[in-house]
């Protein structure tokens, strides 16, 4: 039996209707921006394996750091104990995060990073004896698949089976160009009509919605409205963090600082599942009390796993090298050139770029759903050509590992142009 056949006997895949989906491709090896399947076919990983892998697959520097940590201290419980890798990660993050961020809390994935932030926002007001139980989020947001993260997410087919079982969330429009005022007014009115505890947002780019982009000034204004009303702000940088937008964090473009930040995905360079939620001192202080009930009773068995921490430290070092910073700039310039070339194409609605993120919306005769027919046609076309791209409806986006070569990038662009002609 091939790997794929054995897989279909036992395995249940994420976001997959097994009755109608194609069989998964068995990948046996990866290096740099390339993947190879069990038949030796080569693929360019143009989405960094769901946005996690900036420095290339099977990165030797991260692997060595992980091996060294595995053979020194692989894991110890974080309840009542601490260790150097966790302390070093905290020190490193303090250097690069917006300066109001003072405390860090570990968990295991983007959803748990969000779950922690939302629970902290709710308990912050509980601890202060203030009744605030509503969370504000963007329409079409994606914050993960655990319960509070789902509640905050607005993409309906992810969450429709669970409607009526969620914490209270009010949704406001994303302040894309031309919609800024509508978004500001919706936020004002959400705050006026509900007891709002927090506002969670994907800063500058909504990833799963199809790389929807909006301006830093609009986000600054939304944060100001929250601050004026004592509503806590949560920047979900799970996708945008660690260089994707061209700066270390998307919030580095924004004049206002958030109360909390969620990190995961590229945090460990795409190697080990880990996440971090960061907080201001003021938030930490609301839990700091003689009363044990005011503590944050949240934790995970593998909290602050030292091996994960070692991967974080190696990854941030890599990100800060001039080679990597130049790579980010190089890809951004190439994207902008390609955008200029393609945005006038009669079948293109619009194209956009921020940092290493590029997206193009293709004209279609029918309303394109997330996993609709155009999406399937495009996806199969790319796979056939040896490219891993996962279009969202009629939106094709690129989010390459920063080490992707110009030749590989050119192949991605050429294939996207062919695809636009094809559909």
Residues interacting with ligand PLP, by CB under 6 A? 109-111, 114, 142-144, 202, 207-208, 236, 238-239, 264
CB 41 to ligand PLP: min, Å: 27
Which residues are registered as beta bridge partners of 31? 34
Our CB check for ligand PLP shows the closer of 279 and 338 to be 279
Our CB check for ligand PLP shows the closer of 142 and 279 to be 142
Is 75 labeled as ligand-binding?
no
Is 390 labeled as ligand-binding?
yes
Our CB check for ligand PLP shows the closer of 211 and 283 to be 211
Our CB check for ligand PLP shows the closer of 109 and 305 to be 109
Our CB check for ligand PLP shows the closer of 56 and 270 to be 270
Our CB check for ligand PLP shows the closer of 127 and 308 to be 308
**Rounded distance between C-alpha atoms, residue 233 and residue 260, angstroms:** 6
* Token pair listed for 219: 């986000």
Our CB check for ligand PLP shows the closer of 12 and 81 to be 12
Is 50 labeled as ligand-binding?
yes
Is 315 labeled as ligand-binding?
no
Our CB check for ligand PLP shows the closer of 114 and 283 to be 114
Is 375 labeled as ligand-binding?
no
For 124, other C-beta atoms within 10 Å of its C-beta total 24
CB 53 to ligand PLP: min, Å: 13
CB 112 to ligand PLP: min, Å: 7
CB 343 to ligand PLP: min, Å: 25
CB 144 to ligand PLP: min, Å: 4
CB 273 to ligand PLP: min, Å: 7
- Would you give the distance in Å from CA 383 to the centre of its chain? 23
CB 285 to ligand PLP: min, Å: 27
For 49, other C-beta atoms within 10 Å of its C-beta total 16
Cβ(328)–Cβ(336) under 8 Å? no
SS3 of the chain: CCHHHHHHHHCCCCCCCCCCCCCCCCEEEEEECEEEECCCCEEEECCHHHHCCCCCECCHHHHHHHHHHHCCCCCCCCCCCCCHHHHHHHHHHHHHCCCCCCEEEEECCHHHHHHHHHHHHHHHHHHCCCCCCEEEEECCCCCCCCHHHHHHCCCHHHHHHHCCCCCCEEEECCCCCCCHHHHHHHHHHHHHHCCEEEEEECCCEECCCCCEECCHHHHHHHHHHHHHCCCEEEEECCCCCCCCCCCCCHHHHCCCCCCEEEECHHHHCCCCCCEEEEECHHHHHCCCCCCHHHCCCCCCCCCCCHHHHHHHHHHHHHHHCHHHHHHHHHHHHHHHHHHHHHCCCCCEEEEEEECCEEEEEECCCCCCCCCCHHHHHHHHHHHHCCEECCCECCEEEECCCCCCCHHHHHHHHHHHHHHHHHC
Is 146 labeled as ligand-binding?
no
Our CB check for ligand PLP shows the closer of 51 and 124 to be 51
Is 111 labeled as ligand-binding?
yes
CB 175 to ligand PLP: min, Å: 17
CB 208 to ligand PLP: min, Å: 6
Q: Which residue's CB comes closest to ligand PLP?
A: 110
Residue set of the binding site for pyridoxal 5'-phosphate: 110-111, 236, 300-301
Residue set of the binding site for substrate: 50, 265, 299, 390
């Amino acid at each position: 039996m091939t790997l794929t056949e054995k897989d279909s006997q036992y395995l249940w895949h994420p976001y997959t209707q097994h009755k109608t989906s194609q069989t998964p491709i068995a990948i046996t090896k990866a290096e740099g921006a390339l993947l190879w399947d069990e038949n030796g076919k080569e693929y360019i990983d143009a989405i960094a394996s769901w946005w996690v892998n900036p420095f290339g697959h099977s990165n030797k520097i991260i692997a060595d750091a992980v091996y060294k940590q595995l053979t020194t201290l692989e894991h110890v419980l974080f309840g009542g104990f601490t260790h150097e890798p966790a302390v070093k990660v905290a020190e490193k993050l303090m250097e690069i995060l917006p300066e109001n961020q003072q405390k860090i809390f570990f968990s295991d994935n983007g959803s748990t990073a969000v779950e922690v932030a939302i629970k902290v926002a709710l308990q912050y007001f509980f601890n202060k004896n203030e009744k605030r139980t509503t969370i504000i989020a963007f329409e079409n947001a994606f914050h993960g698949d655990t319960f509070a993260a789902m509640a905050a997410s607005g993409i309906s087919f992810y969450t429709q089976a669970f409607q009526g079982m969620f914490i209270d969330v009010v949704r406001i429009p994303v302040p894309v160009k031309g919609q800024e005022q509508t978004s500001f007014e919706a936020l004002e009115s959400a705050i006026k009509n509900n007891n709002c505890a927090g506002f969670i947002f994907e800063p500058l780019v909504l990833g799963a919605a199809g790389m929807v982009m909006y301006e830093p000034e609009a986000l600054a204004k939304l944060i100001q409205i929250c601050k004026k009303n004592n509503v806590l702000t949560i920047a979900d940088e799970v996708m945008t963090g660690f260089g994707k937008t061209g700066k270390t964090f998307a919030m580095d473009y924004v004049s206002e600082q958030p109360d909390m930040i969620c990190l995961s995905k590229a945090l460990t360079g795409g190697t080990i599942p880990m996440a971090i939620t960061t907080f201001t001192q003021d938030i930490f202080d609301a839990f700091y009390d003689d009363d044990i009930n005011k503590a944050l009773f949240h934790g995970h068995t593998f909290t602050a796993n030292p091996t994960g921490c070692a991967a974080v430290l190696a990854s941030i070092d890599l990100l800060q090298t001039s080679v990597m910073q130049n790579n980010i700039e190089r890809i951004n310039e190439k994207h902008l050139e390609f955008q200029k070339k393609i945005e006038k194409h009669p079948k293109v609605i619009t194209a956009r770029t921020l940092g290493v993120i590029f997206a193009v919306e293709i004209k279609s005769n029918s309303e394109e759903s997330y996993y609709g027919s155009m999406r399937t046609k495009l996806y199969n076309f790319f796979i056939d050509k040896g490219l891993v791209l996962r279009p969202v409806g009629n939106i094709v986006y690129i989010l390459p590992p920063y080490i992707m070569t110009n030749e590989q990038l050119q192949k991605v662009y050429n294939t996207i142009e062919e695809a636009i002609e094809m559909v």
